Amino acid sequence: MSDNKRTIERYMDGFRNTDRSKILSCLTEDVEWEIPGFFSARGRAEFESHIVDEGFTGSPVIDVTRLVEESDVVVAEGTVRANRTDGTTVNLAFCDVFEMRHGKIRRLVSYLMEVK
């Protein structure tokens, strides 16, 4: 497995356990994160503010079904089951496109779709 893919595995594990320090260790200082139609964050502090968004409890169940890499781009596909603070659960399909720099995440675009 490449260094870039290992970083993505570590990042996903950080989200599974809501381990902020593990997640942040995978990012460049000037990281950008976009979820089209929802938000755009620039820098580690803004990124950190979205690790557990309002209305969610953290520690989602993340299943990565495909992880592919070309040059410094890694694409991860999979599913997420996240618990909300109101006791409900949301099921999502995701495709994350990671642009890497020196083994760290420089830019992330997350495409999410609710699965009923």
Q: How does pLDDT run across 51-89, given as a tens digit for each residue?
A: 999 999 999 999 999 999 999 999 999 999 999 999 999
List Cα–Cα distances, 20 to 16, 24, 66, in angstroms.
10, 6, 24
Q: What is the CATH number of domain 3-114?
A: 3.10.450.50
Tell me the pLDDT tens digit for each residue of 23-50.
Answer: 999 999 999 999 999 999 999 999 999 9
pTM for the full predicted model: 0.95
